[in-house]
Amino acid sequence: MSEKPIGIAVLGLGNVGTEVVRIIEESAADLEARIGAPLQLRGVGVRRVAKDRGVPVDLLTEDIEQLVSRDDVDIVVELMGPVEPARKAIMAALEQGKSVVTANKALMAQSTGELAQAAEKARVDLYFEAAVAGAIPVIRPLTQSLAGDSVVRVAGIVNGTTNYILSAMNDTGASYESALADASALGYAEADPTADVEGYDAAAKAAILASIAFHTRVTADDVYREGITKVSAEDFASAKALGCNIKLLAICERLVSGKGKQRVSARVYPALVPLDHPLASVNGAFNAVVVEAEAAGRLMFYGQGAGGAPTASAVMGDVVMAARNRVQGGRGPRESKYAKLPVASIGAIPTRYYVNMNVKDQPGVLSAVAAEFSRHEVSIAEVRQEGMTDAEGEPCGARIVVVTHQATDAALSETVEALADLDVVQKINSVLRMEGATS
């Protein structure tokens, strides 16, 4: 067993950083046995040095640049976010030959190429398992376990806040606003929940997953994104009638045309999911990712996608791998971008749709609505119609729910625009996609 310790610098002492420091200290003997050398905490970078941080004050420093440049630091664990100053600190560490472990999804979705090139030049490791789904191992299975297979599709629930909100709406019939308020009160939602509820967090994770699964650099800007703020209690009632649940999905897919041309699709949006699909029953703040590969078939990864301890578990897995490589003189998987596939626009993506609209209650309405779908070559699979009443109980029109067969986003968008112009259509309430169902 090596006598020389592996020096660790931790940047950030929030929930995850605190757990990482605790594990390094309390599991020192086990970690040494697994790695072949002891881990030694050299310092913790913080915004403000104080005695009440739960770490010996002599280990705390506000000078991040000095900490990552120390000769006795071998691995830098970045847990401070956001993109800056984290990017600057990670680049400095890599350029000085330090391996890096990070949980920074926004940074990895934006700067994977730059960071991977720096790691390659310095011949060190860059690990980021915790950047996608907390404790759930997804990155390593894609880069190692499935390295000899061809991944076709990765789809998952990768944001615990939105899944908690949608689960509450499904279970209780609550409005979006009410469910968000409950999530905030319980600590599941940030004071500013925009990154979660508008899909930015999930889009960053989708970019990372697509890049790895399809050996192509995909950034967050390449990911089509819709949030959950327009999903209503009425949508959930309709979903239940159709045998579905509604989930915010991150979907990464390899598309192959009839001529064999390959493209990548990466998208995030709320979608109706059939109750017999494995993602439909993932509730609360839990995450799940389903990977489909040509030889392996369907694999599902499920667990806690956030929180200090679960995320620290994934971080420490990366730390152990990077430390082993230091001891043994090896390196982990490098960035794989050989495929260089183009990213398909959302307009070219075929899927099924749910369209909910208010219409006038008069003869010929259904035929007029159906004619617009037909004119834009969108095939209807199912139609539901129900009467509507006002506050006094008087009839005030009807509600129509249309479920389509597979159609492109472009065709469906043109159809919805045409429907909105019809005199018999009072309002398009919502348009949601359906995933996991046959066409």
Quote the Cα angle for 30-32-33, to 5°.
65
Residue 53: HSE in the Cβ half-sphere, 13 Å Cα cutoff: 21
- The burial of 391, by beta-carbon neighbours within 10 Å (0-12 exposed, 13-18 middle, 19 or more buried), is given as exposed
- Residues comprising the binding site for NADP(+)? 11-18
Rounded Cα gap, residues 285 and 167, in angstroms:
9
In degrees rounded to 5, what are phi and psi of residue 144?
-120, -60
What is the DSSP secondary-structure string of 15-78? HHHHHHHHHHHHTHHHHHHHHTS-EEEEEEE-SS--TTSSS-GGGEES-HHHHHT-TT--EEEE
What is the DSSP secondary-structure string of 356-396? EEEE--STTHHHHHHHHHHHTT--EEEEEEEEEE-TTS-EE
Chain centroid offset of residue 339 CA:
22
Amino acid at 104: N
Give SS3 for 418. Answer: helix
Rounded Cα gap, residues 369 and 35, in angstroms:
65
Q: Is the peptide bond before 56 cis (omega within 30 degrees of 0)?
A: no
* Alpha-carbon Rg for the chain in angstroms: 25
Rounded Cα gap, residues 263 and 245, in angstroms:
29
- Residues comprising the binding site? 11-18, 105, 190
Residue 405's CB is within 10 A of a number of other CB atoms, namely 14
Residue 198 DSSP class: T
Among residues 205, 259, 337, 360, the one annotated as catalytic is 205
Can 247 be counted among the known catalytic residues? Answer: no
Q: Tell me the sheet residues that pair with 298.
A: 292
Residue 256: HSE in the Cβ half-sphere, 13 Å Cα cutoff: 6
Catalytic residues: 205
